[in-house]
Structure 1
Amino acid sequence: MGNFLVWVVWLAAAFACLGSGVAVVSVTNPFYSALALIGNLGSLAVLFLLLSAEFVAAAQVLVYAGAVAVMFLFVIAYLGGQADAPWAGGSSWQRWAAVIAASALLLEIVMVIGLKAGGRLSDEADVRESFGSPAEIGRFFLTDQLLAFEITSIVLLVAAIGGVILGAHSRAGGVPREEGAGERTLPERAPSVPATSVGAGVPER
């Protein structure tokens, strides 16, 4: 029964991850695309939990879904209506490069599954007991991968500053106002009606 529940959770998280990933690149509204990205990161966190990587799952939710995706939403909200326009597309070589990269990744996944099914990936790696622990991950980040860790922080800072600058330029241009917009106009006075005396126009008896 336990294995059945694990398979159900794994299938649900896998399909949610695939569906939200497709929504990230297919939805034209950037706000909904960012929300789909948060769902994708949450699904990945569930998959990490199934792999007994609790710390990585928590970091996935706190750092990526909780900080990076919120920063994306902040930039989208700051840009306002300018961010609502769908991406018009780039050069043709970018599309071909994306197709080639996706095909190479798919081929790699198929090869790994085939090698695993054939028993050629059955050798277990030498993994220490401390592998994946918070202390080991912190030591790895602050020693071997310190430069990459700091570069990632700088990239996020540059992205936030760029969003603020783009939003400032979009607001500096302003929206052209129509002539007379915002000016208060007084209503025209009704034409005066001459006063009539009491009994005027009534024939005498």
Structure 2
Amino acid sequence: MIDLYYWTTPNGHKITMFLEEAGLEYRIIPINIGKGDQFQPDFLKIAPNNRIPAIVDQKPADGGAPIPMFESGAILQYLAEKTGKFLSADLRKRWETLQWLFWQMGGLGPMAGQNHHFSGYAPEKIPYAIDRYVNETARLYRVLNTQLEGRDFIAGDYSIADMASYPWVVPYERQGQKLEDFPNLKRWFEAIAARPATKRAYELAATINTPKPMTDEEKKVLFNQR
């Protein structure tokens, strides 16, 4: 049993996508980040960076005490190694996948996140910041589009690299992007969207939280912490 501390964000979707693909038994503990659940002491014991997602593996492979885990990329790698799925045992394929997982964690996610913030949430519209992150998002889309030339998925077979990246492309319109400008990425995106596990993950999200405009109070909780 995997306990998943989750909210309906791109990083949260990564983990439900994996769990649905792998068929692992799990239960969701919602962490409403707009209400500040991520700052509760019990959650901070699992995720000291006060960010979702986090997991607790109640039955780790070594048979020992439950293992808590935070950081979505680490969680994906942990679950892949636990199940033997979506991360090849072949040395070269494995490290190609991990390179692209880290690319998402260090590039696509943070840059698209800043894109969302300055384009949609910042109280002051700063043209330089908006242009900076919209352009950087486009550059990263182009990198991914090039990688997908002649291959179905990022590292060949469907893997945790794809699960990490896909949720950050879902809000492409908010990011000022057009998938038609990136034909390989568009094909990849549509293929993942059509997977039954992806559909189940996003249908589950809709039962937990209905997207709506963020209130001023929620913005204070999310953006004014030190």
TM-score, normalised to structure 2, is 0.25
Give the number of the structure with larger relative contact order, counting CA–CA contacts within 8 Å between residues 6 or more apart: 2
TM-score, normalised to structure 1, is 0.27
